[in-house]
Structures are given as C-alpha cells and as structure tokens.
C-alpha cells in the first residue's frame, strides 16, 4: 500500500464536502510536495516512541543509544535538522561510532549540505566497512551527484550496487552518474539493468522501488 494515498483521499473528501473540486490542481500540488510530506502512518507509529525517547534523552543526556534512535525517528519524519542536533551531540560523546556517523551523513545530506555529508560517511565506512550494508556509499553517491563530482559519484555508487545488486535506486543513480560523465552507452546499459532488476523483485520489494523504475524508464527514453 502507498500510504501517501491518505493525503490524496483526504483532499478528495475535503473537496467533496466543500463542493469545491479542483482535484487536478490538488493532485498536482500533492505530487510536487510529496518529497516533503512525511508518511502519515509514520507520524502515527512514531508519536509515542518520540515522546518516550525524548524523555530518556532529557533524563540522561549521555544516553547515546536513545539519541541515535530518536534521531532515526526524526529522519523518518523528514525532520533532518532535529536529527542532526541529536547526532552531533552523540558524536561528541562517541566520535568513533559508525552508526552515528552514518546517520549524521544522512541528516546533513537531507538538510541540504551534501559537502558536509561526505566526511562523516567516509569516516563511518573507515571504522566499519559493513555498516548499514553499503548505505553510506548510496548517500555519498547522491551527495557527489549534487556536487557535480560525477566520477567520484560513479565510484561510490558502484561500491553500493556491488553489495546491493537488487537496488533499482542504486542502479538508476549509477546510470545517472555515468550519463553525466558522458558515458552514454554505460548509462543506457545501467538503466536497462535497473528496469530488468525491478521485474525480478518480489512484490513487497517492488512497492518501494516503483518510482526508481519509472525514472529509469524515462531516462532510457530521453538518453
């Protein structure tokens, strides 16, 4: 189930009740704002957890695990600024914690600081090459793409795909890096691999990769 359907349904119901049905405009608006709208199910699921973990952090500021878990919830809620504040304090107390460094990189990237995201991500992998099964390479690859450092982005994304060969997202981004570097043939092959990989995924995994499959299709058409 796509939980963002809740937003669309709420708008349709509101338009019906108010007898003002500018549905097309509303659907377009929600589509544009979707990256900034937290999953409503996540909001409900994390409400109690956030309250509990916040109390733990207030009671014991040295509780690094509570800080980490609370930061993860804020990232789920698309609030990277709140997550980053918690993680920076945790990093001061435990500067060699690969998990915290990874989350710091994610928070910095999502806060619009791709350059600042790279250092904690690199350090996280230096400390523990297996942290989050290659996810630091995915975030680093995205950050490097934002910075137009295409060769480095390609290297990071190749490392990620090597570990996560069924990631349509990783393959699409790798194709994007190759395209930006001028390797049209390599990009086309990677976009094709992304599309093929999508259809090989079990149903429950396809749901989270559909958007990346569609981007791969469009990239193949436009390339």
Higher pLDDT, 37 or 126: 126
Q: Per-residue pLDDT averaged across 78-82, rounded?
A: 96
How do the domains of the chain map onto residue ranges? 1-37
Confidence of residue 169 (pLDDT cuts 50, 70, 90): very high
CA dist., res. 223 & res. 74, Å (int): 37
pTM of the model: 0.82
Of 31, 34, 15, the C-alpha closest to 23 is: 15
Specify the range with the lowest mean pLDDT, choosing from 14-23, 46-55, 57-66, 211-220. 14-23
Residues 102 and 86 sit within 8 Å (Cβ to Cβ): no
pLDDT at 188: 97
What is the biggest distance separating any 2 CA atoms in the chain, rounded to whole angstroms?
59
pLDDT by residue (tens digit) across 36-79?
Answer: 566 766 667 778 899 999 999 999 999 999 999 999 999 999 99
Q: Per-residue pLDDT averaged across 173-200, rounded?
A: 97
pLDDT at 189: 97
pLDDT at 147: 99
Confidence of residue 159 (pLDDT cuts 50, 70, 90): very high
3-state secondary structure the chain: CCCCHHHHHHHHHHHHHHCCCCHHHHHHHHHHHHHHCCCHHHHHHHHHHHHHHHHHHHHCCCCHHHHHHHHHHHHHCCCHHHHHHHHHHHHHHCCCCHHHHHHHHHHHHHCCCHHHHHHHHHHHHHHCCCHHHHHHHHHHHHHHHHCCCHHHHHHHHHHHHHHCCCCHHHHHHHHHHHHHCCCHHHHHHHHHHHHHHHHHCCHHHHHHHHHHHHHHHHHHHHC
């Amino acid at each position: 189930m796509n939980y963002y359907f809740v937003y669309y349904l709420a708008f349709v119901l509101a338009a019906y009740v108010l007898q003002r049905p500018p549905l097309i405009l509303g659907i377009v608006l929600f589509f544009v704002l979707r990256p900034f709208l937290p999953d409503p199910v996540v909001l409900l699921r994390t409400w109690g957890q956030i309250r509990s973990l916040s109390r733990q952090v207030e009671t014991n500021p040295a509780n690094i695990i509570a800080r980490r878990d609370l930061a993860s919830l804020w990232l789920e809620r698309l609030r990277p600024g709140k997550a980053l504040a918690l993680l920076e304090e945790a990093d001061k107390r435990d500067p060699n914690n690969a998990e915290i460094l990874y989350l710091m990189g994610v928070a910095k990237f999502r806060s619009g600081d791709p350059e600042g995201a790279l250092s904690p991500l690199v350090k996280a992998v230096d400390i523990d090459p297996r942290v989050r099964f290659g996810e630091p390479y995915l975030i680093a690859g995205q950050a490097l793409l934002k910075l137009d450092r295409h060769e480095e982005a390609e290297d990071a994304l190749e490392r990620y795909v090597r570990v996560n060969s069924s990631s349509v997202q990783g393959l699409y981004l790798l194709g994007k890096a190759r395209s930006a570097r001028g390797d049209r043939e390599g990009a086309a092959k990677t976009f094709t691999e992304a599309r093929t990989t999508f259809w090989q995924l079990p149903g429950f995994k396809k749901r989270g990769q559909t958007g990346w499959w569609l981007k791969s299709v469009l990239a193949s058409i436009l390339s």
